[in-house]
Chains A and B, each alone.
Chain A
């Protein structure tokens, strides 16, 4: 960044603030982008000349770690007081070595994780297709519709998948069942195993973050296990971080949950009313655990006794009682019994301001650009950060309109209009 001449700094410093200092309310509203244009201009004019007010505004910005997105991470890194250290760490000479080290790690991982004698997913799937016995390889099938859950068709499709697909998902080999070996995998154990992989991938261009679930301010209360949402993970119940994952519904439900691997998932915990959203690592850990549990013939029989029936029951449930939604005191609530009882579906550290629901698609907007999307009637939530190449949405989202299943419109407190034509993958600001 080019420096300005010293005389410019001196003259900027010598400037005298015009008028009285804005009150705390106005400064807070300014920092939250909630002022009208004319009033905002007045505040900026004052700030340009008043060092004290600039200091107050800067200090009163909320901490960036509250929402750990890429923008937030960039903000955190570039703190000026640590600027020299950060710059040194992110300078090319350092990055060069980091890149080399990363390349070595990748090569080593590929070598270590690809032992030649282990059967690949495709092989396992084809073997199982021949035996006409569904197995945990079904887990590898993402986004399988419920109607397609019949084991033979899944296995045959698995067999058709080319090796490039299996390369894209190297994790899958780790969850293959060991023949003749029954493992009881705890959720915590599998989570830590997967956490080592520390991956942050994107699904269909949707942003997803590796979020430390404990730090995430999203609080989702326990969803009822017998809830009537066909696509929510009602079949899984974790009774504590160190306890076993119990697969009740069978592999069809597990497969159904597979596409949601990048989402923050709501998990039922009996110990606390608040269930913390977990990241993709835990999601896959549970899938692993489920896969290993279903490794036994007994569980397989139980799980695959009537997959169509399970799917039909869940579908019927979801059709019978559509979820109802309400926003009260900044908390999004959901009723699955026609409004008789309500549960908290989404609660942030600050109040939500608007929501929109269409079928199982639910969007909720809140302060400081907080936007969450659920495509499974509130079972899981994905944080979405609308941004264009030049701007990102940081103002409060005060109105939300679902124009079509993929077209969403947002209005912010500073009268910006944002819209997405593709369910949040890309955004346009007007």
Chain B
């Protein structure tokens, strides 16, 4: 029978990390904590060498990990500590995310219930804190989980819109969605895809965050850990490079420079006419401004002869 494989994170190292984390104050013994560390290391670095595993686990937020896992295990002092440190912050985070006191309280309470583990499965309370692995700060994790919860709720609410609300918005008899816009020139699409694929991930992220999500330069800079002015310069550079690359790709696909430029600048979808509006506008005008018209076969007063 083969001997069980040695874990990458040795006992000695794991126990040292247990000591560093202060987990014993929350009733987590060193074997339990070592098991938690190995589980996390297996999740993120399954084939790590002992050195890599030690380095990885040493970089975790051990104290916060111990607190979260002790809370998940129902340790009373850990909960007291958690509540004193994070309860108010949860409300503040929720307010920051929702920008509305009522929704903020609802969101914070809901997350707190999830963290406490109100839902039971097989008679066992399951706390969301079991998923915290200490890679970032516990506060950052809580913010992220709350943001995910908020987005999920927003989606649900968006799907369920009452008829009253629709009526109030004047959308009781909404017209069917218009036909999808006419597709752009396939050569233009292909050229754009090719130019976008050549961008670095970070450049692409900056483009998407700025132009699609309407994020500010400052927000993007904070996400990427760069200065706002760097993002501004990068955005200018990427936009200009992208334009040149698309033009070059279009020329590679047989277009002249002028054609390529025209294809890129004047998108056919910009030229779509709102036929409905035009027709409505036309029908609003009097077809017969004089009120009477002479038609063949009628008298001057419009009476049939």
Contact = CB atoms under 8 A, between A and B. Distances in A.
Q: Indicate whether A and B interact.
A: yes
Interface of A: 1-13, 15, 23-35, 41, 44-45, 47-49, 51-52, 54-64, 71, 74-76, 78-81, 83, 329-330, 349-351, 367, 387, 389-392, 394-396, 413-414
A16 B18 CA distance: 42
Contacts of A350: 137, 139
Given A2-B240, A61-B223, 18 more contacts: A3-B239, A5-B267, A6-B270, A10-B184, A12-B207, A24-B131, A25-B131, A25-B133, A29-B140, A44-B205, A49-B204, A54-B213, A64-B218, A81-B214, A329-B22, A329-B63, A390-B230, A414-B225
Contact of A31 (B136, B228, B236, B243): B136
Contact of B189 (A2, A7, A391): A7
Contact of A56 (B139, B148, B207, B225): B148
B196 A26 contact: no
B143 A391 contact: no
A13 to B, nearest CB: 6
A63 B136 CA distance: 17
A83 B227 contact: no
A376 B239 CA distance: 50
Contacts of B143: 28, 59-62
A1 B63 contact: no
Contacts of A64: 218, 222
A71 B221 CA distance: 11
Interface string B127-160: 0000111111101110111111011000000000
16 contacts: A3-B211, A6-B269, A7-B264, A8-B211, A10-B184, A12-B204, A25-B134, A29-B136, A32-B137, A49-B208, A60-B146, A75-B221, A78-B228, A387-B227, A390-B229, A391-B226
B192 interface: yes
Contact of A12 (B64, B189, B212, B226): B212
Interface residues of B, number: 72
A35 B136 CA distance: 9
Nearest to A46: B201
B201 A41 contact: yes
A59 B151 contact: yes
Contacts of B164: none
A378 B31 CA distance: 39
A352 to B, nearest CB: 12
Contacts of B89: 349
A63 B135 CA distance: 21
A59 B196 contact: no
A26 B143 CA distance: 12
A392 B227 contact: yes
A57 B223 contact: yes
Nearest to B267: A6
A8 B242 contact: yes
B36 interface: no
Nearest to B220: A58
A394 B22 CA distance: 27
Given A13-B212, A58-B223, A52 B135 contact: no
Nearest to A39: B44
A60 B72 CA distance: 22
B209 interface: yes
A249 B30 CA distance: 52
B144 A55 contact: no
A57 B144 CA distance: 7
Nearest to A328: B22
A311 B265 CA distance: 76
Given A60-B143, A391-B227, A330 B63 contact: yes
Given A1-B236, A25-B136, A56-B144, A7 B184 contact: yes
A80 B135 contact: no
B96 interface: yes
B97 interface: yes
A145 to B, nearest CB: 39
B141 A28 contact: yes
Contact of B239 (A4, A7, A47): A4
Contacts of B141: 24-25, 28
10 nearest A-B residue pairs (beta carbon):
A28-B136, A29-B136, A59-B147, A28-B140, A75-B218, A48-B204, A29-B135, A60-B143, A45-B201, A48-B205
A7 B267 contact: yes
B248 interface: no
B76 interface: no
Contacts of A3: 211, 239
Given A33-B225, A74-B218, A413-B59, A60 B212 contact: no
B235 interface: yes
A4 B242 contact: yes
Contacts of A44: 201-202, 205, 224
B196 A1 contact: no
